[in-house]
Structure 1
């Protein structure tokens, strides 16, 4: 852990950036957090794969940059979770993972348990915070929303794009021992691991991690006035992709945050077409 500066307090919002694309996402996320008026630290874990030019805007937004190494995992683990092998064994059939997605990078989320904060809220770099969520710092470890984007069956699985945690080095070391146990295979990388590590995870409302596919698949669940965190799972708003036209209001909202200007009130935006 190589932080650029000391922690600014006991609470922090944390995200992970492993390449220039996710740094672009993090810029919009940090701006959205700033607009909520939170006094918590904004912390960006980043790996060596992120160019300095991509990190500079994050520092300009007041983020505490913490450089981390990739986890030291066995050759067998790395082979089992390499992109082609993982997607071959556990293909994504509902959406498209972007070309810059590297599954092994996801496990770097576990580094947050090494941080020098009392409590953190983790947010994927492809999220936006539309309403204050500081209440989550007072929630227990481990809280996450269900992975709802297609049907009621999704409630059986959690989504690791937003969660609460209490950093502690002992937790981190125990996690690493379990993560890379002989024969271990985590079908959905960090998400599968965290759900097994915290089998009694506390469920957050879906509005604390509203997945963009709800707009497409469950339009009756969409409510701009209730959504606190919007999560662009699968296709990213800064990419051209086949679903872009159908997701246009969400993408335009993300672009406004990324620009840092003319951010609309989400409650004035149109809803999905049933």
Structure 2
């Protein structure tokens, strides 16, 4: 893959570190409200690193949408479609473009985030986490399956979850060894620290096109990373990718004050302004809406008329108004 061009906003970039970035993927307008909250929370906590957003060709062709990125002063990288080779005439379509950062060799380090996350503390130390050459760092997948979803593996029960094996007092993740339960080798790709490398990127694309499990993968890039990097990924504490259901199913491990990145998997906060404030999981949506309120004030009350128009045209339609 050729090195993508980065389209920057209008403000000077000198304040940001030039060789390390945060990145996330957007494939349509639906997650733009989430992106604005992610970006605002990174800036609020004074990160020295820029969020550069991967957008697909379809997004690039949406001129008004691209204008909204510029209005938000969020630089973009246009990535080509990444898709596994057909098997028996079928393609496992998913968010395979999340593999693109391994090809961003203009940077020495990239931290991949999901746009349904909110940053609660400064996380710049992630740019200095030591990882061996050819490794990545990530957080374990939670395999408790509290909603008892039938299409998940029967092995996905609390006693097999890596977070059950973590140090409940300190949050230190359980070490991964060959003797660990297979679930402990699974990661959640909402947060991944990586060193871009054409060699690593090539290995991922080759595995995507050839590994026999690809047609059945439920979590696309996440499942592939767990296979390719088995024995070569460093587990981070859950606090760097705190999946909101864990506040209930791992209540002994969870500490509100320690969470650095809150991840809104499953139902998204921007889908409804109504939620159960007494529920340990749904109550976390108030955090997202508090950050969104700041974003909303900045855009809706902007002295620039076009910014206000973009707010109405691009953001309001994808974020619940009641």
Task: Tell me the TM-score range normalised by the shorter chain.
Answer: 0.7 to 0.9
**Cα distance in 1, alignment partners of residues 108 and 88 from structure 2:** 31
Give the corresponding residue for 1:189: 220
**Cα distance in 2, alignment partners of residues 78 and 133 from structure 1:** 44
Find the partner of 2:121 among 118, 131, 136. 131
Aligned length: 240
The alpha-carbon deviation at position 129 of structure 1 amounts to 1.1
**Cα distance in 2, alignment partners of residues 131 and 118 from structure 1:** 23
**Cα distance in 1, alignment partners of residues 143 and 296 from structure 2:** 29
**Cα distance in 2, alignment partners of residues 225 and 75 from structure 1:** 46
Whether the aligned pair in 2 keeps the contact of 1:145 and 1:162 (CA below 8 Å) is yes
The verdict on how the C-alpha distance between 1:257 and 1:54 changes in structure 2, with shifts beyond 3 A counting, is: farther
Runs of 4+ in 1 over 6 A off after TM superposition: none
Find the partner of 1:167 among 192, 196, 220. 196
Find the partner of 1:4 among 7, 27, 31. 7
TM-score by length of 1: 0.78
Aligned-residue Cα RMSD (Å) equals: 2.7
Counterparts of 1:1-274 in structure 2, within 5 Å, are 1-5=4-8, 9-50=18-59, 51-76=62-87, 79-82=90-93, 104=94, 106-115=95-104, 116-139=106-129, 140=131, 141-148=135-142, 150=144, 151-155=158-162, 156=184, 157-181=186-210, 183-185=212-214, 186-200=217-231, 201-240=233-272, 244-245=275-276, 246=279, 247-260=281-294
TM-score by length of 2: 0.67
Deviations 1:39-91 (A, max 9, x none): 11211001133344444444334322011121154232882424xxxxxxxxx
The alpha-carbon deviation at position 4 of structure 1 amounts to 1.2
The verdict on how the C-alpha distance between 1:202 and 1:244 changes in structure 2, with shifts beyond 3 A counting, is: same
**Cα distance in 1, alignment partners of residues 247 and 188 from structure 2:** 17
Deviations 1:64-121 (A, max 9, x none): 2011121154232882424xxxxxxxxxxxxxxxxxxxxx1x2101111121210011
Larger radius of gyration: 2
Gaps of 5+ in 2: 145-157, 163-183, 298-322
**Deviation larger for 25-34 or 146-155:** 146-155
Give the corresponding residue for 1:272: none
What's the secondary structure of 1:238's corresponding residue?
A: helix
Gaps of 5+ in 1: 83-103, 264-274
The alpha-carbon deviation at position 248 of structure 1 amounts to 4.0
The alpha-carbon deviation at position 257 of structure 1 amounts to 1.7
**Cα distance in 1, alignment partners of residues 227 and 68 from structure 2:** 36
The alpha-carbon deviation at position 138 of structure 1 amounts to 1.4
The verdict on how the C-alpha distance between 1:19 and 1:78 changes in structure 2, with shifts beyond 3 A counting, is: farther
